[in-house]
């Protein structure tokens, strides 16, 4: 094994950590904006579109998105059935892809 291939896994994990940290932050920010808009209806601030939240989950940020939705005292987007169906569809996609990679011997990627 060359030294460069030994760095692939730590670099990939670092990238995943950054992506998931960003996803969690964005979900928390949107929840903060929702709370602000509820208490200041005369001066609402723009929320983050659901499409953008779901794209963050799709772009390898599914764990951070889940933490942003369920990991704090204020739940976020957990009652919106249409959003939840799309979110859990993304999770299912990752589970199936992970299973396929493991089943066919691509665990070293």
Model pLDDT, residue 4:
57
pTM, rounded to two decimals: 0.85
Across the range 26-45, mean pLDDT stands at: 94
Residue 1 has pLDDT above 50, yes or no: no
Report pLDDT digits (tens) over 73-109.
888 899 999 999 999 999 999 999 989 888 886 655 5
Mean pLDDT (the chain) is 90
Q: Which stretches of 1-109 are DSSP H helices?
A: 3-6, 8-39, 50-56, 62-70, 81-103
Contacts 24+ apart (CB under 8 A), 17-21: 19/56, 19/59, 19/60, 19/61, 19/64, 20/60, 20/61, 20/62, 20/63, 20/64, 20/65, 20/67, 21/64
Output 9 or 49, whichever has higher pLDDT: 49
Output 29 or 75, whichever has higher pLDDT: 29
Return the biggest CA–CA distance within the chain: 62
């Amino acid at each position: 094994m060359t030294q460069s291939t030994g760095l692939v896994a730590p670099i990939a994990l670092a990238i995943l950590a950054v992506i998931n940290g960003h996803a969690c932050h964005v979900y928390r920010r949107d929840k903060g904006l929702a709370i602000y808009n509820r208490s200041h209806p005369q001066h609402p601030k723009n929320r983050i579109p659901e499409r953008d939240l779901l794209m963050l989950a799709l772009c390898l940020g599914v764990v951070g998105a889940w933490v942003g939705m369920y990991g704090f005292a204020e739940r976020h987007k957990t009652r919106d059935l249409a959003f939840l169906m799309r979110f859990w569809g993304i999770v299912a996609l990752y589970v199936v892809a992970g299973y396929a990679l493991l089943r066919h011997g691509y665990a070293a990627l």
